C-alpha cells in the first residue's frame, strides 16, 4: 500500500507564491509621461490599430521603453510585434490603420486635440427640395384638393351653401388636373381613388343642398357606375332621397330597393332606415297596404317609435280597426331604453354620492333621455287621439280602451292625460256637461292631475259667465298646485271680472313669478294696469310681451291704444303701421289709422286708410259716413251717393241715409232725381217732416202742382208734432213720447244742406270716440281677458291669438285653441 505513496521532496521545489512580483514592463505606468512612443500614440491614431492575429509573423524590432528604474526595454505586442507607429532607426513607420473619426493628420503637425471637429464650424445647410419635380407638384396639388373639400364641408355646416358649392366645384377641377398629372408620371394603378371618391361625393352633396337635383343625380351616377369604388351602391339611397324631394315616388322606391339589395344583412340598422323610407314613400303615393307591410316588418325586426306611429297612420288611412289596435299596442311596447327616475334620487346622506347624483341629474345623457321620453309620450297621445273616435262605436268607448291599454304599459302616467283629452274632445263637440263630468272625476286624484282638471273646469265656467263656479275651481286648482301659472291666471280673471283690479294684478304677478313665459298673465296684467290708469306700467307689460310674441296683432294694437291714451298720436300711428303689416286686411285697424290722421289734420292720409278699411269691410257705418262726408266736403257729391246708398241698404229703417242721398242729388243739380228720391222717402216714411219740407221747396222751385198737397201735409204733421210735444211735457201720453223719439231719430237734412263742413266736424268728433279706450282695433276682437286651461302635453299656458285664428286645429298636439275667448268689457 505504501508503494504508491510518494512524499513531496523538500528540496529543489518551486515556491508556490513565486512570480507574483514579476510583471511586463509594458504595464509600468510611472514613466509614461517620459515615454516618447506612448505620448506620440496618444496624440495620433498610432495606438488605435486593431490587434493583429497570431498568424502574422513579427517583423518589427522591439524598442526599449522606460521602466520604473529608468532603463528602457523593448515594448512589444502580445505576439512580440513592436507597436505600430514606433520610430525605428530614426524613421517613423507609416500608419496602416483606418483613420478614426475626430482625428486628422494635422495632429502630427502639432494641432489642438479636437475629437468633435468643432473647429470646422457649422454643418452646411440641407439640400433644398426641388419644387419643380413632378412628384412634388402632385403632392402639393393633392394637398390643395383636400383643403378645398374641407372648406366646402365647413361652409355647408355654417349655412353658406353657395360658397360650399363653389369650393366643391373648384376641388373637382383640381382633382381632374391631378389625375392627368398622375397618369403622365406613374401608372394608373397609383391613382388615389379615395380622393376622387370624396371629391365627387362632396360635389353631389353640395348640388343636392343647393336644390340642383339634376346635377346631383348626374354626379351620383358617375360614382355608382364606377366599379373601382367599393360600396358605391349605398349612394343610391341618396339618389332615392332626391327623387322623393322631386315627388318622383316610383323612382324613389326603385332606388331605395336597389340600395337595399346591395347592403348586406349584417348592416341591420341601415337596412331598417331604408325600409322606413320605402314605407313613407308608399304613404305619399297612397299605397297604404304596402306601407303597412314595410312598417310591420320593421316593428318585428327592430321596433321604434317613428315606425310604430307611421304604422298607426297607415292603418287609420285604410280604416282597419283591428290593425289600429294592434299597431297601438306595438307602439306602447316599444322599449325606451332609458333609466328610471329613481336612479337620480340619492339613497343616502353621503356627500360624495349626492354630488354625483347632482352632476348626472341634468347632464347631456339625462337630457337625451327626457327628450326621448317626451317624444314617446307625444306619439302615444297623438295616436290615441287619432284612433279613439274610430276604433269603437263612440269616441268615449275608444278613449276608454286606449286608457286601459296605457294603464297596463310603462306609460301609466299618460292615462290621466288621456282622460283630460277626452274632456277636451267633449268640448269640441259642444258637449259641455260631459266635459264637466269627466273633469270632475279628477277631484280625488293626485295634486298634479287635480290641478289640471280644476283649471279646465274653471275655464269652462268662466266662458259661461258663471264666475262664482269659476272662482271656486280656480281656488281648488291653486290649492292643489300653487305653482300652476294657468290656475293663477284663471283666478286672476275671475277677480278681474268682479272689478277687483288690484287683487287681479297680484295673481297675474304670482303667475309670472312661477313662469316668466306665461304670456296670458303678462297680457292680462297689462289690461289690468290700463283699468287702473297706470299707463306706463301697462305699456311696459305690453312691450315685454311684444318681445316674446313679435307678430301678435293683439299686442300691437294694445300698445297703440296705450300710446293713444297717453296722447301720443305719432307713436300710436307707428305701432298701428306695424299692426297692418301683420294683418293688412284688418278693417278696424285701418279705420283707426284714418281716425288718427284725421285728428292730426291730414285728410288725404285719413281718406286713404278709411277707403282701404271700406274695401275690406264695406258694412262699417262709421267708415261709410266719414267717406260720404269727405266727398261732400270736397264738393264731390256724386261720389258720396254710393256710400249713402250702401248705408241705406245696411240700415233700411234709418231715414237719414236716404235723405242724404236725395240731398247729394240736389247739390249736384240733378233736381228731378232728387225729387223722385224725396217722393220715395215720403212713401216709405209719410210722417217725416224734413222730407216734406224739401218736397215743398223743390216743387215750388220747379213749379209743380203737387206743392199745395205737400204743403198741406206738412202743416198737418207740424201741428201733430206740436201736440205730441205738449203731451210729452204734460206726461199724459207716453206713446206719443215714443213716436216723437222715433221722429227725432230720423235726423234733419237742413243743417247738412246749409253747411257740409259742420257735418264733417260732427263726424270727426263722433269718429274720435271710436273704438272704446279698452277695445282692440281688430274688427272681431272685442274681448280682452285671456282664460287659460291646462294642456296635458305642453306647458300649461295659452297664448293670445288674432281673430283670424279662432278655430280648432285637429293637427295641433297642444289644444291651445280653447284659450282664445276673451272677457268682454
Q: Are 67 and 25 in contact (CB under 8 A)?
A: yes
Q: What is the mean pLDDT of residues 177-184?
A: 84
Q: What is the mean pLDDT of residues 151-172?
A: 92
Write the pLDDT tens digit of every residue in 295-310: 999 999 889 999 999 9
Q: What is the 3-state secondary structure (H, E, C) of 5-67?
A: CCCCCCCCCCCCCCCCCCCCHHHCCCCHHHCHHHHHHHHCCHHHCCCCCCCCCCCCCCCEEEC
Confidence of residue 808 (pLDDT cuts 50, 70, 90): very low
Cell representation of residue 513: 313669478
Residue in this structure with the C-alpha cell 291599454, named with its chain if needed? 405
Write the pLDDT tens digit of every residue in 469-528: 888 888 888 888 888 898 899 999 999 998 999 999 999 999 999 988 899 999 999 999
CA 766 to chain centre: 47
pLDDT of 76 above 50: no
Write the pLDDT tens digit of every residue in 232-271: 888 899 999 999 999 999 999 999 999 998 888 888 899 9
Write the pLDDT tens digit of every residue in 404-425: 888 888 888 788 788 888 888 8
* pLDDT at residue 231, as a whole number: 79
Write the pLDDT tens digit of every residue in 268-291: 899 999 999 999 999 999 999 999
Mean of per-residue pLDDT scores for the chain? 76
Contacts of residue 105, defined as CB under 8 A and 6 or more positions apart, other chains included, come to 99
* pLDDT at residue 667, as a whole number: 86
Q: What is the mean pLDDT of residues 536-559?
A: 92
* pLDDT at residue 749, as a whole number: 39
Note the pTM of the prediction, 2 decimals.
Answer: 0.54
* pLDDT at residue 762, as a whole number: 43
Q: What is the mean pLDDT of residues 47-74?
A: 46
pLDDT of 708 above 90: no
State the pairing for strand pair 72-74/91-92.
unpaired
Burial class (CB in 10 A: 0-12, 13-18, 19+), 48: middle
Q: What is the mean pLDDT of residues 164-171?
A: 93
Burial pattern 745-782, b for ≥16 Cβ within 10 A else e, equals ebbebeebbeebeebbeebbeebeeebeeebbbbbebb
* pLDDT at residue 93, as a whole number: 55
Confidence of residue 746 (pLDDT cuts 50, 70, 90): very low
Write the pLDDT tens digit of every residue in 575-624: 999 999 999 999 999 999 999 999 988 999 999 999 999 999 988 889 99
Write the pLDDT tens digit of every residue in 336-346: 877 666 666 76
Confidence of residue 187 (pLDDT cuts 50, 70, 90): low
- Which tops the pLDDT comparison, 27 or 224? 224
Angle (nearest 5°) at CA 597 between 594 and 599:
110
Q: What is the mean pLDDT of residues 432-443?
A: 77
Distance of alpha carbon 777 from alpha carbon 577, whole angstroms: 12
* pLDDT at residue 815, as a whole number: 32
* pLDDT at residue 684, as a whole number: 86
Q: What is the mean pLDDT of residues 174-201?
A: 82
pLDDT of 95 above 70: no
Q: What is the DSSP string of 721-758?
A: HHHHHHHHHHTS-HHHHHHHHHHHTT--SHHHHH-HHH
pLDDT of 733 above 60: no
Confidence of residue 798 (pLDDT cuts 50, 70, 90): very low
What percentage of the chain exceeds 90 in pLDDT? 30
Amino acid at each position: 500500500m505504501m508503494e504508491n505513496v510518494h512524499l513531496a521532496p523538500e528540496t529543489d521545489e518551486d515556491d508556490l507564491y513565486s512570480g507574483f512580483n514579476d510583471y511586463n514592463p509594458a504595464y509600468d505606468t510611472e514613466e509614461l509621461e517620459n515615454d516618447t512612443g506612448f505620448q506620440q500614440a496618444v496624440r495620433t491614431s498610432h495606438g488605435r490599430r486593431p490587434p493583429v492575429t497570431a498568424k502574422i509573423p513579427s517583423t518589427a524590432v522591439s524598442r526599449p521603453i522606460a521602466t520604473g528604474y529608468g532603463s528602457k526595454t523593448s515594448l512589444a505586442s502580445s505576439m512580440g510585434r513592436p507597436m505600430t507607429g514606433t520610430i525605428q532607426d530614426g524613421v517613423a513607420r507609416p500608419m496602416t490603420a483606418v483613420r478614426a473619426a475626430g482625428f486628422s493628420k494635422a495632429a502630427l503637425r502639432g494641432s489642438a486635440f479636437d475629437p468633435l471637429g468643432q473647429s470646422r464650424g457649422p454643418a452646411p445647410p440641407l439640400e433644398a427640395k426641388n419644387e419643380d419635380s413632378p412628384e412634388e407638384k402632385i403632392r402639393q396639388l393633392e394637398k390643395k384638393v383636400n383643403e378645398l373639400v374641407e372648406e366646402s364641408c365647413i361652409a355647408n355646416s355654417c349655412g353658406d351653401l353657395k360658397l360650399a358649392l363653389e369650393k366643391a366645384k373648384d376641388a373637382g377641377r383640381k382633382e381632374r388636373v391631378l389625375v392627368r398629372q398622375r397618369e403622365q408620371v406613374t401608372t394608373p394603378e397609383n391613382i388615389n381613388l379615395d380622393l376622387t371618391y370624396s371629391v365627387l361625393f362632396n360635389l353631389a352633396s353640395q348640388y343636392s343642398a343647393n336644390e340642383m337635383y339634376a346635377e346631383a343625380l348626374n354626379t351620383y351616377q358617375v360614382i355608382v357606375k364606377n366599379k373601382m369604388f367599393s360600396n358605391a351602391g349605398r349612394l343610391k339611397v341618396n339618389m332615392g332621397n332626391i327623387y322623393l324631394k322631386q315627388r318622383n315616388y316610383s323612382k324613389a322606391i326603385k332606388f331605395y330597393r336597389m340600395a337595399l339589395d346591395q347592403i348586406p344583412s349584417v348592416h341591420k340598422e341601415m337596412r331598417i332606415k331604408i325600409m322606413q323610407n320605402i314605407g313613407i314613400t308608399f304613404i305619399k303615393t297612397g299605397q297604404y297596404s304596402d306601407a303597412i307591410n314595410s312598417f310591420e316588418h320593421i316593428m318585428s325586426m327592430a321596433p321604434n317609435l317613428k315606425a310604430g306611429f307611421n304604422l298607426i297612420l297607415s292603418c287609420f288611412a285604410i280604416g282597419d280597426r283591428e290593425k289600429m289596435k294592434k299597431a297601438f299596442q306595438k307602439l306602447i311596447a316599444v322599449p325606451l331604453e332609458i333609466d328610471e327616475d329613481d336612479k337620480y334620487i340619492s339613497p343616502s346622506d353621503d356627500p360624495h354620492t349626492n354630488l354625483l347624483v347632482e352632476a348626472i341629474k341634468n347632464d347631456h345623457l339625462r337630457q337625451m333621455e327626457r327628450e326621448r321620453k317626451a317624444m314617446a309620450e307625444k306619439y302615444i297621445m297623438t295616436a290615441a287621439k287619432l284612433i279613439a273616435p274610430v276604433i269603437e262605436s263612440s269616441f268615449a268607448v275608444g278613449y276608454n280602451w286606449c286608457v286601459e291599454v296605457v294603464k297596463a304599459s310603462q306609460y301609466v302616467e299618460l292615462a290621466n292625460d288621456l282622460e283630460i283629452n277626452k274632456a277636451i274632445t267633449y268640448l269640441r263637440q259642444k258637449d259641455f256637461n260631459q266635459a264637466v263630468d269627466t273633469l270632475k272625476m279628477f277631484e280625488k286624484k293626485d295634486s298634479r292631475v287635480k290641478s289640471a282638471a280644476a283649471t279646465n273646469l274653471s275655464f269652462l265656467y268662466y266662458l259661461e259667465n258663471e264666475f262664482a263656479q269659476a272662482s271656486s275651481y280656480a281656488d281648488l286648482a291653486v290649492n292643489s298646485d300653487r305653482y300652476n301659472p294657468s290656475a293663477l291666471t284663471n283666478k286672476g280673471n275671475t277677480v278681474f271680472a268682479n272689478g277687483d283690479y288690484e287683487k287681479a294684478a297680484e295673481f297675474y304677478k304670482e303667475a309670472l313669478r312661477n313662469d316668466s313665459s306665461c304670456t296670458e298673465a303678462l297680457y292680462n296684467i297689462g289690461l289690468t294696469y290700463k283699468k287702473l290708469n297706470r299707463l306706463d306700467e301697462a305699456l311696459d307689460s305690453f312691450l315685454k310681451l311684444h318681445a316674446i310674441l313679435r307678430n301678435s296683432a293683439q299686442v300691437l294694437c294694445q300698445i297703440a291704444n296705450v300710446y293713444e291714451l297717453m296722447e301720443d298720436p305719432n307713436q300710436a300711428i307707428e305701432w298701428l303701421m306695424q299692426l297692418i303689416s301683420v294683418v293688412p286686411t284688418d278693417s278696424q285697424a285701418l279705420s283707426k289709422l284714418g281716425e288718427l290722421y284725421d285728428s292730426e289734420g291730414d285728410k288725404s292720409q285719413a281718406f286713404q286708410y278709411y277707403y282701404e278699411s271700406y274695401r275690406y269691410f264695406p258694412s262699417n257705418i262709421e267708415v261709410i259716413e266719414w267717406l260720404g262726408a269727405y266727398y261732400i266736403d270736397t264738393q264731390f257729391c256724386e261720389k258720396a251717393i254710393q256710400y249713402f246708398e250702401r248705408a241705406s241698404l245696411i240700415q233700411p229703417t234709418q231715414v237719414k241715409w236716404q235723405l242724404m242721398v236725395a240731398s247729394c242729388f240736389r247739390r249736384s243739380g240733378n233736381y228731378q232725381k232728387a225729387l223722385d228720391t224725396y217722393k220715395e222717402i215720403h212713401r216709405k216714411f209719410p210722417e217725416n217732416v224734413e222730407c216734406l219740407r224739401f218736397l215743398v221747396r223743390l216743387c215750388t222751385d220747379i213749379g209743380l202742382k203737387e206743392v199745395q198737397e205737400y204743403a198741406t201735409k206738412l202743416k198737418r204733421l207740424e201741428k201733430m208734432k206740436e201736440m205730441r210735444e205738449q203731451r210729452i211735457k204734460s206726461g199724459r201720453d207716453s206713446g206719443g213720447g215714443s213716436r216723437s223719439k222715433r221722429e227725432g231719430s230720423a235726423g234733419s237734412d237742413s243743417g247738412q244742406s246749409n253747411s257740409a263742413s259742420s257735418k264733417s266736424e260732427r263726424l270727426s268728433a263722433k269718429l274720435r270716440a271710436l273704438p272704446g279706450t279698452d277695445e282692440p282695433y281688430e274688427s272681431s276682437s272685442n274681448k280682452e281677458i285671456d282664460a287659460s286651461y291646462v294642456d296635458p302635453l305642453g306647458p300649461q299656458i295659452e297664448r293670445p291669438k288674432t281673430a283670424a285664428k279662432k278655430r280648432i286645429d285637429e293637427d295641433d298636439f297642444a289644444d291651445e285653441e280653447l284659450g282664445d275667448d276673451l272677457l268682454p268689457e
